[in-house]
Amino acid sequence: MNESECLRGVRQASRLQVESRLVVILKKEPLAKMNIIDYFKTFGYLTVEEINFAMDFFIPEEIKKGAFYLKEGQVSNKVSFIEKGLFRLFYQLDGEEKIMLFFSESQLMADYFGFLTETASIRPIQALEDSLIYSIEKRNLNKLFDYSKNWERIGRQLAESAYVTSVLRANRLLHDDYNTRVKTFLEESPSLMQRVPQYMIASYLNMTPETLSRVKRRIKRTGDVKDTIHNVKG
């Protein structure tokens, strides 16, 4: 065996040892916490030690349909991973509810503006279904990002992702016509069309429920996104 083959063998053995240790550690945790780590690992590499350090920070919470995760006037001091369920972030304008975001499974949830500025929220977050979430307080999230370069890098990636998402949504509302908004929603969030009341989807897309119904009928006639639209009522 030459030197390069020997080094490859050592690296492979080391990798297998790390992976086996990771499996042992994660098997001690609820499946949901494994899902949290899988989510974070989409943003960057984490060692076994870095994963183990994070585990105890995530606290399970069950939130019933209709209950508020965050009420207007509260200061948001946590970020939550949604294991099961569905939420809406909204605000009131002239007595009418305007929906800004939906949060569903395998997403992080927060009122990010209130969370970052530590100011009272004007945008409550409410459960639309019975939900299970895992929450981490801001002080513990900061501990994670201070713990290692990998966690710091993931924190930066999360912030960039949240910013890009908000800009993309704003641009779509400014520049996309009704037809494009509905088609994009159907393509990117097909399950939400089944789970969310149509008037809420209309609010999210910044159109009336009547316009949403009309656009859906037009899309159905033309055959665009047909696998989804054929199963949607309204």
Note the residue count of the chain.
Answer: 234
Domain with 45, as residue range(s), is 3-170
State whether 8 and 73 are in the same domain. Answer: yes
Residues 149 and 56 in one domain: yes
- Residue 114 domain-assigned? yes
Per-residue pLDDT of the chain (234 residues; tens, 9 = 90+): 544 454 444 345 444 443 443 333 334 455 567 889 899 999 999 999 999 999 889 999 999 999 999 999 999 999 999 999 999 999 999 889 999 999 999 999 999 889 989 999 999 999 999 999 999 999 999 999 999 999 999 999 999 998 999 899 999 999 999 999 999 999 999 999 999 999 999 999 999 999 999 999 999 888 765 444 444 433
Residue type at position 74: Q
**Which CATH number does the domain housing residue 48 bear?**
2.60.120.10
Same domain, 79 and 7: yes
148-176 tens-digit pLDDT: 999 999 999 999 998 999 899 999 999 99
117 plus 213 within the same structural domain? no
User: Which of 127, 142, 170 corresponds to the end of one domain?
Assistant: 170
| 234 within a domain of the structure (yes/no) | no
Q: Where are the alpha helices (DSSP H) in 95-204?
A: 112-117, 138-147, 149-175, 178-188, 190-195, 198-204
Quote the CA–CA distance of 75 and 71 in Å, as a whole number. Answer: 9
